């Protein structure tokens, strides 16, 4: 269940590949990749709910100045991030290493799902979700890492619950399901209060 060293290395290479492709569009951007399981193993619903998330980070003011054609003193960043993701998707597809699968722009944090088929990253195609200045992937990675530091059983259970929800097709936010991040929070809550009298994890204030 846990990301392997090879998987983590592939995600790092994938983030570098994305950053290289987007350098001409937004050279100031930082690109981070996160994997919640082995990114190199093909499973059911792998494209439907990718286990790799790539976040492009850049100052909102700079992004608005670069991509907002409307101007104004109070730019609509949600709209601008959708414009940015469309531009990034077009740019990545021109490299021949990424294929568009779908977009989810109605969500609180817009994203685009792509299929990376760069042999320099992995021998197999890797599904990924691409975000602009999103916080959920960072919070999710930080929570899982901290839970694992407190108790190795905790991170293992969290990943098992996420896999269970994904393989049963009940974590598709577009269908009204709880998204994977919410399944992470539910698993943590159970470990805080419901593990048969044993408090495996403390309250969030103690993290």
Tens of pLDDT, residue by residue over 73-88, are: 788 999 999 999 999 9
Going by C-alpha positions, the residue among 83, 206, 78, 201 that lies closest to residue 150 is 201
Burial of 121 (0-12, 13-18, 19+ CB in 10 A): buried
pLDDT band at 120 (very low <50, low <70, confident <90, very high): low
Is a pLDDT exceeding 70 seen at residue 45?
no
Is a pLDDT exceeding 90 seen at residue 143?
yes
3-state secondary structure of 126: strand
Mean pLDDT to the nearest integer, 111-131: 84
Mean pLDDT score of the chain:
88
Rounded CA separation 26/181 (Å): 28
């Amino acid at each position: 269940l846990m990301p392997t060293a090879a998987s983590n290395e592939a995600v790092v290479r994938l983030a570098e590949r994305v950053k290289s492709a987007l350098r001409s569009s937004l050279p100031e951007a930082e690109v981070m990749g996160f994997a919640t399981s082995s990114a190199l193993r093909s499973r059911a619903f792998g494209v439907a709910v990718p286990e790799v998330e790539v976040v492009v980070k850049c100052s909102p003011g700079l992004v608005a100045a670069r991509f907002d054609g409307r101007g104004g003193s109070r730019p609509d960043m949600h709209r601008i991030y959708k414009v940015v993701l469309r531009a990034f998707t077009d740019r990545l597809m021109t490299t021949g290493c990424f294929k568009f699968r779908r977009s989810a722009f109605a969500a609180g944090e817009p994203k685009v799902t792509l299929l990376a088929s760069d042999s320099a990253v992995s021998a197999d195609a890797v599904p990924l979700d691409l975000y602009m200045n999103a916080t959920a992937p960072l919070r999710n990675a930080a929570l899982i890492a901290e839970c694992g530091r407190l108790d190795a059983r905790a991170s293992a259970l969290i990943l098992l619950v996420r896999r269970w929800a994904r393989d049963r097709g009940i974590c598709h936010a577009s269908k009204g399901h709880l998204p994977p991040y919410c399944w992470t929070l539910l698993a943590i809550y159970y470990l805080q209060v419901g593990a048969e009298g044993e408090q495996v994890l403390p309250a969030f204030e103690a993290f």
